[in-house]
Homo-oligomer: A and B are copies of this chain.
Amino acid sequence: MSDEAHAFVPGHVTGFFTVDRDDDPTKAGSRGGGLALSDGVSVTVERAQENAVELDGEQIEMDAVDRVLEALRATAHVSAETDLPLGAGFGVSGGMALGTALAANAAFERGLSYNELVTVAHGAEVQAGTGLGDVVAQARGGIPLRLEPGGPQYNYVDAVPARTRVEYHSLGELSTAEVIDGETDALTAAGERAISQVVREPTLSTFMQSSRQFAREAELLTPEVKRVIDEVTDAGGDASMAMLGETVFTLGTGLTDAGYDAAVCEAYPPGATVEDGA
């Protein structure tokens, strides 16, 4: 048994989503669509005398990670690195939860299956209140369409069969918990409209159009985000807002064409992977 193990989890920007509550955290979650990104979170789990969690060299508290370690009966030092901005709608907390599950399973030889580890991370993220659908999407990779909520035992995930360059530009943070703990009926209705449009035509252009419509209908657009999206549109591009962060994402060269020094990555086909054998 090795003392440490590594995992990589793609980032995930959500274009549109619903809130689906359930007392069972493996059934609760959300439906929606997003992009798994080649920019992601690298997680190392090392057996230790007491738990510690570090992100980009700084000690942090992350409830979802603590819950994953507890579920796997693992006492460990978790260190994660990412180029993604935090609290800006890229699924960094989901990535840390899922990466911790995959790497801890390998380092502690827990013998759980891929879907069992996704279930643990999804449930931890839901209970921590930091996300509803990122973990499932990050386990799928590509351009996931979550058509039923919950973990792998309950959900149904499809995808847009395409690849694309992705650009993003982050203006600041938004609290996921504040939005998903509030009144979400209108948001869920808007999410359902977006999902049925993309199910009818699962292409990149419908995905972007439905994301923009969702951001508008769910009244989540901030003035700054709206201004950047409009600038991309004026430059001939196709942009929307990452749920939930003050972040604009585009396909192709949309932000660059509008004059922004955007981060560049691509839709990332594989889901999260442990980097070591088990």
Chain A interface residues (CB < 8 Å from chain B): 102, 105-106, 109, 111-117, 141-142, 145, 152, 158-164, 199, 201-204, 251, 269-271, 273-278
- CB pair A270 B141 closer than 8 Å: yes
Q: In whole angstroms, what is the CA distance A163 to B273 when docked?
A: 8
Name the B residues within 8 Å of A162 (CB-CB). 106, 274, 276-278
| Distance, CA A158 to CA B68, complexed state (A) | 19
Tell me, in angstroms, the Cα distance from A265 to B112 when the chains sit together: 25
Structural contact, B271 and A114, CB atoms closer than 8 A: no
Q: Which residue of B116, B160, B273, B276 contacts A114 across the interface (Cβ within 8 Å)?
A: B160
Q: Are B161 and A105 in contact (CB under 8 A)?
A: yes
CA distance A278 to B102 in the complex (A): 32
User: Can you list the 10 inter-chain pairs with the closest CB atoms, starting with the nearest?
Assistant: A269-B270, A270-B270, A114-B159, A113-B202, A162-B278, A114-B161, A115-B158, A269-B273, A113-B158, A111-B201
Given contacts A141-B270, A269-B270, A270-B141, contact A163 B113 (CB under 8 A): no
CB-based contact B269/A271 at 8 Å: yes
Give the residue of B161, B163, B202, B274 whose beta carbon is less than 8 angstroms from that of A161. Answer: B274
B residues within 8 A CB of A163? Answer: 273-277
A117 to chain B: closest residue by CB: B161
Q: Tell me, in angstroms, the Cα distance from A159 to B251 when the chains sit together.
A: 31
Nearest-neighbour CB distance to chain B for A120, whole angstroms, equals: 11
20 contacts between A and B (CB under 8 A): A106-B162, A111-B202, A113-B145, A113-B159, A113-B161, A113-B199, A114-B142, A114-B160, A114-B202, A115-B159, A117-B161, A141-B269, A141-B270, A161-B274, A161-B278, A163-B275, A163-B276, A163-B277, A203-B278, A269-B271
